[in-house]
């Protein structure tokens, strides 16, 4: 089977994270609401994958599933393996070890995920002292040196401060340091800079990428920002309405998108200066439970035919990209013209 990156699993060794045919539905109401369907995504050690799509496309749900953090009314199908082990089968203690030592999670809003009553030092040190049998002394030294690596001057003094004494950008650096305390192999970064002031977004992103590269960590970057994802990822996975519509090498996908949705995302970026033919994506993004039998993007797609409205396209390989579009070959030239003229 092909991986999300379009390279067979064998060619790059076993995957670190392997999500297959993931489906997530909420069962507290009838009919059940489907939030995610048929999401397949695999990441290799040290690989950076950008998971891109508009708000509501199921990105955060996918990450929550990978960390087994979904609400109790969520029913999951498909499989998620980390390092060859099914995350679903983890015992309580294996799950705790997985969340604290194998993977790390950086949230969009660092303030919502820190305790206002605990100092930076307590926040950084307590969890690792509990899980890793690091002495308090060692953990404190490690925290201080990590803060310094995050470009936080006066790290010792910062250890005694409370979250409200830190700016959003500083607090997000503390969060990055917190995920690195236990030396994970994979970081989930869910819109890590979206809530920050524009002036510090690129600074925090640069610090995160520096750490990822220096430590050769895998990163799943969740973002609505295709430019950002393309700039920092090896591989891009584009989601729409709870499913993957296109995936491939970041450079190729960015330069030469094969799915009309990816092309529309590229054409509608605020940074785009040229007048484009695919000026905007008509209509609003759909949720998985709102789309019918056909292609998830059919209602907004300028190229949709009757087949697109009735039959869900399978993911298939077209010129090196994985794309779920019946018309990928037929519209390739139109997409090029729309984006590059």
**Residue matched to tokens 């609401």:** 33
Identity of the residue, 108 or 114, whose beta carbon is nearer to ligand ADP in the bound complex: 108
Work out what residue 53 binds among Mg ion, ligand ADP, none; the CB cut-off runs from 5 to 8 Å by kind.
ligand ADP
Radius of gyration of the chain (CA): 21
State in angstroms the smallest separation of the CB of 46 from Mg ion.
24
Six-digit token pair at 319?
């010129």
- Is residue 261 within 8 Å of residue 301, measured between CB atoms? yes
**Which CB atom, from 61 or from 171, has the smaller least distance to ligand ADP?**
61
Q: Cβ closer to ligand ADP: 43 or 155? A: 43
Cα 84 from Cα 80, distance rounded (Å): 9
Tell me: does residue 221 bind ligand ADP (CB under 6 A).
no
- In degrees, rounded to 5, the angle at the alpha carbon of residue 192 between the alpha carbons of residues 189 and 196 is 175
**Residue 182 or 223 having the CB closest to Mg ion:** 223
CB of 191 to Mg ion, least distance (A): 6
Q: Which of 60, 211, 233, 243 binds ligand ADP (CB under 6 A)?
A: 60
- 8-state DSSP, 57: S
Distance of CA 196 to the CA centre of its chain: 17
Q: Which does 328 bind (CB under 5 to 8 A by kind): ligand ADP, Mg ion, none?
A: none
Distance from C-alpha of 161 to C-alpha of 180, rounded to nearest angstrom: 20
Residue of the chain from 2, 7, 26, 95 that contacts ligand ADP (CB under 6 A): 26
- Give the separation between CA 294 and CA 311, rounded to whole angstroms: 4
What's the token pair of residue 203?
Answer: 């600074």
Q: How far is the CB of 240 from Mg ion (least distance, A)?
A: 14
**Binding flag, residue 168, ligand ADP (CB under 6 A):** no
Q: What is the three-class DSSP state of 82?
A: strand
- Among positions 66-85, residues that touch ligand ADP (CB under 6 A) are 71
Q: Is 53 in the site for ligand ADP (CB under 6 A)?
A: yes
61 touches ligand ADP by CB under 6 A: yes
The entry of Mg ion, ligand ADP, none that residue 260 binds, CB within 5 to 8 Å by partner kind: none
Tokens of 68: 């087994």
What are the backbone angles phi and psi of residue 246, rounded to the nearest 5°?
-155, 145
**Residue number with CB closer to Mg ion (58 or 163):** 58
How would you label 21-55 residue by residue, b for 16+ Cβ within 10 Å and e otherwise? ebbbbbeeeeeebbbbbbbbbbbbbbbbbbbbbbe
- 287 contributes a contact to ligand ADP by CB under 6 A: yes
Near ligand ADP by CB under 6 A, which window of 53-61, 94-102, 193-201, 211-219? 53-61
Q: Which is nearer to Mg ion, 37 or 60 (CB)?
A: 60
By CB under 6 A, residue 59 contacts ligand ADP: yes
Instruction: Kindly tell me the burial class for residue 162, based on how many C-beta atoms sit within 10 Å of its own C-beta (0-12, 13-18, 19 or more).
Output: middle
- CA atoms lying within 13 Å on the CB side of residue 36: 27
CB 40 within 8 Å of CB 4: yes
Q: Decide: is 35 part of the binding site for ligand ADP (CB under 6 A).
A: yes
Residue from the set 23, 58, 257, 313 that interacts with ligand ADP by CB under 6 A: 58
Q: Footprint of Mg ion on residues 35-64 (CB under 5 A)?
A: 60
Q: How many residues bind ligand ADP (CB under 6 A)?
A: 12
Q: Among ligand ADP, Mg ion, none, what binds residue 56 when CB lies within 5 to 8 Å by partner kind? A: ligand ADP
What are the residues binding Mg ion (CB under 5 A)?
Answer: 60
What are the residues binding ligand ADP (CB under 6 A)?
Answer: 26, 35, 53, 55-61, 71, 287
């Amino acid at each position: 089977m092909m991986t999300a990156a379009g390279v067979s699993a064998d060619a790059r060794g076993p995957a670190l994270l392997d999500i297959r045919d993931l489906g997530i539905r909420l069962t507290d109401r009838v009919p059940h609401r489907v939030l995610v369907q048929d999401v397949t995504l695999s990441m290799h050690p040290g690989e950076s994958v950008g998971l891109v799509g508009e708000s509501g496309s199921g990105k955060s749900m996918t990450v929550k599933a990978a960390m087994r953090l979904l609400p109790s009314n969520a029913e999951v199908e498909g499989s998620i393996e980390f390092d060859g082990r099914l995350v679903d089968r983890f015992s309580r203690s294996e799950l705790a070890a997985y969340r604290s030592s194998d993977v790390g999670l950086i949230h969009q809003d660092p303030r919502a995920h820190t305790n206002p009553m605990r100092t930076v030092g307590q926040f950084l040190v307590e969890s690792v002292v509990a899980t890793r049998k690091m002495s308090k002394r060692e953990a404190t030294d490690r925290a201080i040196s990590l803060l310094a690596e995050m470009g936080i001057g006066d790290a010792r003094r910062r250890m005694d401060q409370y979250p409200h004494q830190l700016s959003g950008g500083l607090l997000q650096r503390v969060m990055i340091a917190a995920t690195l305390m236990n030396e994970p192999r994979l970081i989930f970064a869910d819109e890590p800079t979206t809530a920050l002031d524009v002036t510090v977004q690129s600074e925090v992103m640069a610090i995160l990428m520096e750490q990822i590269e220096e430590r050769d960590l895998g990163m799943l970057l969740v973002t609505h920002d295709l430019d950002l994802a393309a700039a920092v990822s090896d591989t891009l996975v584009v989601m729409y309405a709870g499913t993957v519509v296109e995936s491939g090498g970041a450079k190729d996908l960015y330069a030469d998108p094969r799915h009309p949705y990816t092309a529309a995302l590229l054409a509608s970026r605020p940074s785009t200066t040229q007048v484009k033919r695919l000026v905007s994506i008509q209509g609003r993004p759909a949720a998985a439970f709102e789309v019918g039998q056909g292609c998830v993007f059919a209602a907004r797609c300028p190229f949709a035919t009757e087949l697109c409205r009735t039959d869900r396209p399978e993911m298939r390989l077209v010129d090196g990209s994985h794309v779920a579009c019946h018309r990928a070959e037929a519209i390739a030239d139109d997409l090029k013209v729309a984006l590059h003229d």
